C-alpha cells in the first residue's frame, strides 16, 4: 500500500485544554468554583482550582518546537503550537499529518481525571467532571464530526457514579473511558477489587472500552534521580506490563465477558514475550496458585480483551499475529514529545513494509473503529479519508519549527540531562507564585 | 541437533547453603560470630546471624516437590531435595537433567550478599563475606571441577573492598560477581554514580562479569496485595527492564570499555522491542537529553556489554539475531519454582526447533563459556558433556516427586492465591520464635 493510501486513526493523542472549557457549561452557582487559567507573574499559564495549580508542562506539548528546546519547563499558551489547544488548528495539523481521527486524553485533569479525585467536595467535583466531559464531547470532538473519538473521564471516587457517567456519555455517543493502570497508587482499591464492579458492568452494557494510559497510576518510571532522563523515557511505555499482568490474571476479564481494555501508549513489541511468559506461569504454577481463568490461557484472555497500540514498533508489527491482529491499533501521541507528527505516515509506513493490505487496514483504522465504536465514514467519504486526501486539504499549514526560547533543564555545559534536573524543572513551576 | 547431543551450561541456578558453610574457614576468634543454622521449635530451619533470622523459603527450593505444595512457606532441610544443598546430590540432579555446568546464586545472604550489607560492623562482615566466597569456590564449586561456574558476592558497602574482592576471587579462578539491579533500593548510590568506579575498574581488569539477578534491588514486583500471586510471578523477570535501561544510558558502559553485565533470569523475548525503543528515544530525544554514548546507539551498546539468558522463551530464540546471538545464554533456575528440571533438555529443544547447530551451540554453552571465562572441557572430554552422556551417568537418581506436606498459602476452598496470602505465609516465618 502506498503511503498516500493509508487511513490513519490514532487512539492516543492529547488535548491541552483551552481556557474556556468551563465558560459556557455551568449553572450560575458553580461558575466561580470552576478551574480557571491564570497568567502568573513569571509569564507562564497555569490552571488554578481549589488551592491547586497545574502547570502546562513543555514536554506534554512540544509539537512544532525544535527538539533542542524540549524539557519539563512550565509554559504559557503563547509558547504552544495552536494545534495543542485550538480544535480547528488541531484538525489542520491532523490533515498535514494525514491523520483522519484522533482520541485525545486530558492534560490538566490528569490522564483519568486524577485532579478531581483529590478534592473531597463530591458535589463540586461531579459538576466539574461532567462539565469537562461535556466540553470534550460537544466542543472539542463536536466541532469536527468524524475527526475525534470521544473519551470520558470517570468520577473515580464512586463506582456507581462512574457507571452513571459511562451510561450518560454513551448516550452522547462516547464509548471510551479513561481509568488508571494501577488505581491503588492513587489511593483507591486495586483493579482486582469487587469495588469497581458497577463500573465494569456499565462499560459492558454500553460497549465502552476502558483506556489505561501509561503513567496514569504509578506516574513516571524513575529508577534513580541521577539517572539520565532517557532511562525514564525508554521505560515509560513498557512500564504498563504489570498492568497487563494484573488484567490477564484478574477475575474482571472472566466475570465481565465483553469488557475490553486499551493499553494506551504501551507499545506492542513486548507482547509476544509477555503472553508466552504468562502461559508458562499458568502451566507451571497453576497447581498451587489456582488461577480461575475459565479454562482459557492468559494469552487467549489477552487477545480477546486487550487492545494494544504503538507509535513506531517494527518488531511488534512483524509479530502481529502472535500479538493479535484483531487488537493492534496505532497512535500518533500529538503533541507529546514522542509524537511522529508531522511525518507519521512515512514513519509508520517503514514499520508496515511487507505487511499485506488487509493487515494494514486493521492496524491503521479498522481495529480502532471497531473497538472504540467509531465510524468516521459516516461523516466523510472514504476516498477523502486517506493520507493523500487529507494532506491535499492542508496546503496552508506551516510546518516549520518555531523556537520559544525558555530555560533548558540544565546549566551544565555537557553531559546527559538527569532525572533530577527535569524533575527540578517541573517542580519550579509550583514554587513561583500564582499572583 | 538431537536433544541428546545438546551441551547445557546454565548461568542461573541457586544453592541452598548447607549448615557447614562457615565451619572450617574462620580463625578461632571469629567462629562464634558466624551465621549458623538453628532448628526452631516450629520445626523449620533458619539461618541466624547478629539478631537476624533468615528462613528457607519453599518457593526457592521446590525442585522435586509436587507443584500443589509450592508456596512461600518456611522449610526445614528435611523438606528439601538434597540436590538443593548437597553438592554431590546436586551434580547427580544436574546429570539427570543433562546439565553440564551451573552458576549458583546465594540463598540466605541474598542475591548479592545483601545480608552482610545490613550490618555496620565492617570488619565482621568482610570476614564472613570472604569466608562465604571461599566456601562457594573451594567447597561448592571445587567439589566437582568443571561442573560449576563460580560466582562471588561483593562487600557492597565499600567499592575499594569490592575491587579487592573481585581481584582476590579472580586469582581463585572466579570471574563472575553478583550485584544489585538497582542498588539505590538497597540504600546505596545508583548505578550511575562514580562511587562504584573502583568496582567496575576491577571487573574490567580481571575480565569479571557483573551478574544482576532479578529482584536483587527492588525485591518482588508486586502491583497490589490483593492481586493473584501469578501477577508477580509473570512480571518478575521483565521487571529487569528498568535496569537494562539504566545500563544502556549509563556512563559506565562508555567509560569502562570491556565491562559486561548479565541480566540474570531476565528472559530475552522483550529485548528486540526494548532495543528498538531505546534507539527511538536516542533519535527522537538526543537533541535535548544529550546522551553521551560515544557515537553508538543504545542497541549497539546493549549487544556489546549485556549478556541475557532465558529458561523457556520461544519468541526470544526466534528473534535471536535482533537480540544478539553472541550474548544469549540459557538457564535452568534449579531449584526455584520456575525451573524446568528434570526436563530442561526437552523443553529447551522445543524452543530450538529450526535453529542451526551453530546458533544452538552458542546459546546452550559457547556464549556462557566465553562471557564467564569458564572451560568445562579442560576437566571433561567434550563427548562426555552432552545431555545423553550425562544422563547415562544418572541411572541412580530418583526423579519421583516427594510430598512433604506443609501448610498451603490459603485456607480458602477456591479462588486464586493472592499476593497478600503468600506474603503472610512468608512473614509468619519471622514471627515464630527461634528457640
Q: What is the pLDDT of residue B264?
A: 98
Task: Supply the pLDDT for residue A124.
Answer: 97
Look at residue A59 in the predicted model and tell me its pLDDT.
Answer: 77
B348 class by beta-carbon count within 10 Å (0-12 exposed, 13-18 middle, 19+ buried): buried
**Averaged over B118-136, what is the pLDDT?**
96
Work out the minimum CA distance from A21 to partner chain B, whole angstroms: 32
- Sign, CA torsion B221/B227/B233/B235: negative
Residue A247 has pLDDT above 90, yes or no: yes
Please answer yes or no on whether B273 and A315 come within 8 Å at the CB atom. yes
Q: Can you give the pLDDT at residue A71?
A: 86
Nearest to B416 among A226, A290, A337 (CB): A290
pLDDT band at residue B74 under the 50/70/90 scheme = confident
- Is pLDDT above 90 for B429? no
pLDDT average, residue stretch B28-34 = 95
Per-residue pLDDT band for B91 (boundaries 50, 70, 90) equals very high
Residue B59 has pLDDT above 80, yes or no: no
pLDDT-based confidence at residue B405 (cuts at 50, 70, 90): confident
Q: B50 falls in which pLDDT band (50, 70, 90)?
A: very high
* Mean pLDDT value across residues A171-186: 97
Predicted local confidence at residue A189, as pLDDT: 98
Tell me which chain B residue has its CA closest to the CA of residue A421.
Answer: B289
If one counts every other C-beta atom within 10 angstroms of the C-beta of residue A67, the result is 15
Could you tell me the pLDDT band of residue B406, with boundaries at 50, 70 and 90? confident
A 10 A CB-CB count for A139 gives 16
pLDDT at B408 over 90: no
pTM comes to 0.97
Answer whether residue A376 shows pLDDT above 80.
yes
Distance CA A331, CA A211 (A): 13
The per-residue pLDDT for B430 is 85
User: Which residues of B are less than 8 Å from A193 in CB distance?
Assistant: 226
Confidence of residue B252 (pLDDT cuts 50, 70, 90): very high
Q: Give percent above pLDDT 70 in chain B.
A: 100
Share of chain A above pLDDT 70, in %: 100
Q: What are residue A297's phi and psi, to 5 degrees?
A: -85, 155
Residue B203 has pLDDT above 80, yes or no: yes
Task: Choose from B191, B223, B319 for mutation: most chain A CBs within 10 A.
Answer: B223
Average pLDDT over residues A49-67: 87
| Chain A residues lying within 8 Å of B230, measured CB to CB | 245, 249, 278, 281-282, 285, 289, 291
Mean pLDDT across chain A: 95
Q: How far lies A63's CA from each of A14, B310, B317, in Å?
A: 11, 40, 39
Cα–Cα distance between B282 and A64 in angstroms, integer?
19
Pairs of CB atoms within 8 A across A/B: 237
- For residues A286 and B109, what is the distance between their CA atoms, to the nearest angstrom? 29
Q: What is the pLDDT of residue A235?
A: 98
Chain A residues with CB-CB distance to B69 below 8 A: 288
Q: Does the pLDDT at position B312 exceed 90?
A: yes
Reply yes or no on whether the pLDDT at B126 is more than 90: yes
The residue-averaged pLDDT of A226-243 equals 97
Q: What is the pLDDT of residue B57?
A: 82
Query: Residue A404 above 90 pLDDT?
Result: no
- For residue B384, the distance in angstroms to the closest alpha carbon of chain A comes to 31
Nearest to A277 among B71, B226, B267 (CB): B267
Over residues A86-124, the pLDDT tens digits come to 999 999 999 999 999 999 999 999 999 999 998 999 999
pLDDT for position A433:
87
**Which of A277, A290, A414 is the closest to B234 by Cβ?**
A277
Q: Which residues pair with B45 in a beta bridge?
A: B39
Chain B residue at shortest CA distance from A288: B68
Does position A57 have pLDDT exceeding 90, yes or no?
A: no
Taking Cα atoms as reference points, which of B179, B185, B244, B258 lies closest to residue B213?
A: B179
Q: Which residue of B has its CA nearest to A186?
A: B224
Q: How confident is the model at residue B58 (pLDDT cuts 50, 70, 90)?
A: confident
Helix, strand or coil, per DSSP, at residue A49: strand
Segment B347-370, tens digit of pLDDT: 999 999 999 999 999 999 999 999
Which residues of chain A have a CB within 8 Å of the CB of B269? 270, 272-273, 276-277
pLDDT attached to residue A94: 98
pLDDT higher than threshold 90 for residue A428 = no
**Which of B70, B242, B316, B347 to mutate to test binding with chain A, by most A CBs within 10 Å of its CB?**
B242
CB atoms B231 and A249 under 8 Å:
yes
Q: Chain A closest CA to B278's CA: distance in Å? A: 6
The answer to whether B100 touches B388, Cβ cutoff 8 Å, is: no
The shortest CB-CB distance from B284 to any of A66, A241, A338 is to A338
Q: How far B142 CA lies from chain A's nearest CA (Å)? A: 33
- Residue whose C-alpha cell is 573451594: B138
If we measure between CA atoms, which residue out of B128, B101, B35 comes closest to residue B382?
Answer: B101
Residue to substitute from A228, A337, A414, interface B, most B β-carbons within 10 A? A228
A231 vs B contacts (CB less than 8 Å): 242, 245-246, 249
Chain B CB contacts of A269 below 8 Å? 270, 272-273, 276-277
Taking contacts as CB-CB distances below 8 angstroms, the residues of chain A near B282 are 230
| Interface probe, candidates B183, B212, B230, chain A, greatest A C-beta count within 10 A | B230
Please determine, for the modelled complex, whether the ipTM score is greater than 0.95. yes
CB contact under 8 A, B315 and A193: no
| Minimal Cβ distance to A228: which of B243, B289, B417 | B289
Minimum-distance CB partner of B229 among A251, A270, A289: A289
pLDDT confidence of residue B244? 98
Question: SS3 sequence, B60-74?
Answer: HCCCCCCHHHCCCCE
**CB-based contact B245 A226, cutoff 8 Å:** no
Report the pLDDT value the prediction gives residue B172, as an integer from 0 to 100.
98
Chain B residues whose CB is inside 8 A of the A69 CB are 288
Question: Counting Cβ atoms within 10 Å, is residue B48 exposed (0-12), middle (13-18) or buried (19+)?
Answer: middle
pLDDT of residue A435: 79
| Residues in B touching A273 (Cβ below 8 Å) | 238, 267-270, 273, 313, 315-316
pLDDT, mean of residues B400-428: 90
B225 CB neighbours in chain A (<8 A) are: 190
Share of chain A above pLDDT 90, in %: 86
pLDDT of B26 over the 80 cut: yes
Q: Who among B69, B190, B224 is closest to A192 (CB)?
A: B224
pLDDT of A283-325, one tens digit each?
999 999 999 999 999 999 999 999 999 999 999 999 999 999 9
pLDDT at res. B118: 86
| Closest residue of chain B to A340, computed from CA coordinates | B284
Amino acid at each position: 500500500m502506498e503511503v498516500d493510501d493509508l487511513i490513519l486513526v490514532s487512539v492516543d493523542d492529547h488535548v491541552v485544554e483551552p481556557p474556556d472549557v468551563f465558560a459556557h457549561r455551568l449553572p450560575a452557582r458553580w461558575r466561580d468554583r470552576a478551574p480557571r487559567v491564570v497568567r502568573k507573574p513569571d509569564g507562564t499559564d497555569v490552571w488554578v482550582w481549589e488551592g491547586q495549580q497545574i502547570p502546562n508542562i513543555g514536554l506534554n506539548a512540544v509539537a512544532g518546537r525544535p527538539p533542542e528546546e524540549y524539557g519539563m519547563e512550565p509554559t504559557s499558551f503563547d509558547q504552544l503550537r495552536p494545534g495543542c489547544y485550538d480544535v480547528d488548528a488541531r484538525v489542520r495539523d491532523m490533515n498535514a499529518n494525514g491523520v483522519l481521527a484522533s482520541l485525545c486524553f486530558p492534560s490538566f485533569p490528569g490522564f483519568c481525571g486524577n485532579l478531581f479525585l483529590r478534592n473531597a467536595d463530591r458535589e463540586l467535583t461531579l459538576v466539574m467532571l461532567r462539565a469537562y466531559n461535556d466540553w470534550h464531547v460537544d466542543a472539542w470532538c463536536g466541532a469536527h464530526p468524524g475527526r475525534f473519538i470521544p473519551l470520558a473521564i470517570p468520577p473515580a471516587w464512586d463506582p456507581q457514579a462512574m457507571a452513571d457517567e459511562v451510561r450518560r456519555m454513551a448516550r452522547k455517543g462516547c464509548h471510551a473511558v479513561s481509568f488508571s493502570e494501577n488505581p491503588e497508587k492513587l489511593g483507591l482499591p486495586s483493579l482486582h477489587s469487587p469495588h469497581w464492579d458497577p463500573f465494569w458492568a456499565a462499560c459492558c452494557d454500553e460497549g465502552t472500552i476502558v483506556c489505561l494510559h501509561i503513567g496514569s497510576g504509578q506516574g513516571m518510571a524513575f529508577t534513580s534521580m541521577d539517572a539520565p532522563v532517557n532511562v525514564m523515557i525508554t521505560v515509560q511505555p513498557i512500564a504498563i506490563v504489570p498492568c497487563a499482568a494484573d488484567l490477564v490474571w484478574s477475575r474482571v476479564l472472566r466475570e465481565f465477558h465483553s469488557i475490553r481494555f486499551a493499553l494506551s501508549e504501551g507499545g506492542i513489541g513486548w507482547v509476544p514475550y509477555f503472553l508466552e511468559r504468562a502461559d508458562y506461569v499458568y502451566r507451571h504454577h497453576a497447581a498451587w496458585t489456582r488461577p480461575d481463568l475459565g479454562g482459557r490461557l492468559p494469552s487467549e484472555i489477552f487477545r480477546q480483551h486487550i487492545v494494544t497500540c504503538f507509535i513506531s514498533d517494527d518488531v511488534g508489527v512483524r509479530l502481529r499475529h502472535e500479538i493479535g491482529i484483531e487488537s493492534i491499533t496505532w497512535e500518533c501521541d500529538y503533541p507529546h514529545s514522542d509524537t511522529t507528527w508531522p511525518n507519521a505516515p512515512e514513519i509508520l509506513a517503514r514499520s508496515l513494509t511487507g505487511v499485506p493490505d488487509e493487515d494494514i487496514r486493521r492496524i491503521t483504522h479498522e481495529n480502532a473503529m471497531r473497538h472504540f465504536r467509531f465510524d468516521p465514514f459516516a461523516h466523510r467519504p472514504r476516498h477523502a479519508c486517506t493520507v493523500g486526501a487529507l494532506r491535499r486539504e492542508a496546503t496552508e499549514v506551516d510546518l516549520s519549527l518555531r523556537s520559544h526560547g525558555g530555560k533548558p533543564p540544565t546549566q551544565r555545559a555537557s553531559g546527559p540531562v538527569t532525572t533530577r534536573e527535569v524533575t527540578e524543572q517541573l517542580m519550579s513551576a509550583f514554587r513561583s507564585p500564582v499572583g
